[in-house]
Copies of this chain bind each other. A is one copy, B any other.
Amino acid sequence: MSEIEVRDIGSFHVGGRLVRLEGMPARERVSTPGGPVYHDDQNGEIFVGQMYVQFVRLASPRATAPLLMWHGGGMTGACWESTPDGRPGWQTFFLRAGFDTYVCDAVERGRASWAPYPQMYPDAPFFRTARDAWEDTFRFGPSGSWHVNPELRRAYEGSRFPQAAFEAFLAQGVPRWSCNDALTQSAYDALIQRLDPGVILLAHSQGCNFALSAAQKAPERVRAVVVLEPSGAPDPAQVDAKNVASVPHLIVWGDNWQDNEFWRRSRPASEKWRDALAAAGCDVTQIDLPQRGISGNSHALMADTNSDQIAAIVLDWLTSRGLAR
């Protein structure tokens, strides 16, 4: 494989502000084994609400716009870097295809950090169980198929998920909250304002609603939106799809969602938004992979064994819209 010629690598945080924390108990802290006891006064200003953005910019990008990669709920940008079974991830795929990449950790997750609850966030986080990941969120197997013993665990027939790497997949996960949508959206919106106009948004699952919303707020700065298995979307009764009619949209779905109650209930939101976009004259494409003869994909399209095949479908679409060459 040829080398990737990189101009620069780095990161920054966007959004957030100093907020005063009060009423925290005085505590003693030892910072390192054998270290001194340290009086830690937790009351004071702390920094809250930022998100993390890591860029890899190419010496000679061939794409006409950088790719912003937004992970799903309970995940971080790590999901784009490598697959759980150690293959190159979508970040590498799109770097090799000539895109500058901006891999993000949303507010509350990964290198974006998180803030105390109930003082700053109103509620406690959710920790994803292996069963939830296997049976529900990521649709690796049907209801009742999870078992802690891998020998007794059952995946969907023909599943594309690399099952032996399930623990490595779980290791990529982080806690999530369900009370921080506005804070998260605000930081994503700030990112789009901070970068030069003309970016492509690529989002997964929970990240999709943030991306679809961000695009309709700043259509003049967004060249295209690609959403993988969107768990939600703006409501056309509240948001006018005409705002974003000039921006091409691609929606990609895997397999077996009809078998899962959460996904049966989640999918209609993005279909409603898709219909509203189409009615507004937007260039919107939905790809159901099984209808293209590609079966067995889970919710984690970028982790599945055919992840590069799906990335190539996205690249073809971006190329057809003049965004890659």
A93 vs chain B, min Cβ distance (A) = 11
Q: How many copies does the complex hold?
A: 2
CB A176 to nearest CB in B, in angstroms, measures 8
Which residues of chain B are near A7, meaning CB under 8 Å? Answer: 1, 3-4
What's the minimum C-beta distance from A68 to chain B, rounded to whole angstroms? 17
For A, the interface residue count at a CB cutoff of 8 angstroms equals 86
Among B31, B43, B91, which residue has its beta carbon within 8 angstroms of that of A9? B91
Q: Are B266 and A129 in contact (CB under 8 A)?
A: no
Stretch touching chain B among A81-89, A285-293, A315-323 = A81-89
- Which segment, of A34-42, A217-225, A274-282, faces chain B? A34-42
Report the separation of the CA atoms of residues A266 and B33 in the bound assembly, to the nearest whole angstrom.
11
> A6-B6, A8-B92 are contacts. A129–B35 as well, Cβ < 8 Å?
no
Interface stretch of the complex, out of A109-117, A242-250, A251-259, A303-311: A109-117
Asked if A31 and B178 make an inter-chain contact with CB atoms under 8 angstroms apart, the answer reads yes
A154 at the interface (CB under 8 A from B): no
Select which of B42, B45, B114, B178 is within 8 A of A30 by beta carbon: B178
**Chain B residue at minimal CB-CB distance from A238:** B34
Selected contact of A45 from candidates B32, B116, B131, B181, CB within 8 Å: B131
B47 touches A170 (CB 8 A): yes
Query: What 1/0 flags go to A43-58 for Cβ under 8 Å of B?
Result: 1111100101010100
- In the docked arrangement, what's the CA distance between A42 and B44, Å? 32
Could you tell me the distance between the alpha carbons of A217 and B166 in the complex, rounded to whole angstroms?
Answer: 30
- Knowing A11-B82, A81-B10, say if A113 contacts B173 (CB, 8 Å): yes
Smallest CB-CB A-B distances: 8 pairs? A32-B232, A44-B129, A13-B171, A10-B82, A47-B170, A3-B59, A36-B265, A11-B81
